[in-house]
Amino acid sequence: MFIRWIARIIAVLNSNQRPVEVGAAVATALLLALMPSGNLLWIVLFLLTFFVRLNLGIELAFLAIFGLLAPLLDRVIDQVGFWFLTLPGLHGFFTALYGVPILPFTRFNNSMVMGGLLIGLAAWAPVCLLAMRGVILYRRYLHPRIANSRLVRAIKSSPLFTRVSQAVGRVRSVYGAAHS
């Protein structure tokens, strides 16, 4: 399964997908990974990603990766959330929000949820730009080197690769004709 994720990530990096869609997917995955799941806010943000242009495969792959790394930041996330929730000027605002019927289900008053949201929002643009730049650099410099390497040329010249690529081409043409 992990190898399949890596293969999909590489396929997206080599595809005609716009770098901004990949960058937005990585940044959104980080935002979601920093927040605890299982609350209405996380669910709404996750569902919103289905309505914007970003690569969902990349988002899910990086959500799993960032999800493994996010617990390392739990203390910082909690401190940021606690600091924000206890700001004296916002006390009345949060009290009013808690009185709105559906909003308590977002768990916005939880320091981990609020801290993850704040850090994720603050990191969204820089992570998106870094991921976009990484895709551009990969496509410009690393992909041609890999594609022209001896190993890849040897694999492409093997009879097995030729048969598999022909079979995939036939399946694509049948699938494309059926869904046109």
Q: Which tens digit of pLDDT belongs to each residue from 35-66?
A: 999 899 999 999 999 999 888 888 988 999 99
Q: Beta-carbon neighbour count of residue 83 at 10 Å?
A: 13
Q: How far is CA 72 from the centre of its chain?
A: 18
Q: Tokens in use for 35?
A: 């927040």
pLDDT (0 to 100) of residue 6: 67
pLDDT (0 to 100) of residue 109: 87
Mean per-residue pLDDT, 15-32: 89
For residues 16 and 50, the answer to whether their CB atoms sit within 8 Å is no
Please say whether the dihedral angle defined by the alpha carbons of residues 172, 18, 27 and 2, taken in this order, is positive or negative: positive
Q: Is the pLDDT of residue 143 over 60?
A: yes
Task: Classify residue 87 as left (phi > 0), alpha (psi -120 to 50) or beta.
Answer: beta
Q: What are phi and psi of 99, to 5 degrees?
A: -80, -10
- Mean of all residue pLDDT scores within the chain: 84
DSSP category for residue 149: S
Residue that has been written with the tokens 């990585």 in this structure: 26
For residues 113 and 46, the answer to whether their CB atoms sit within 8 Å is no
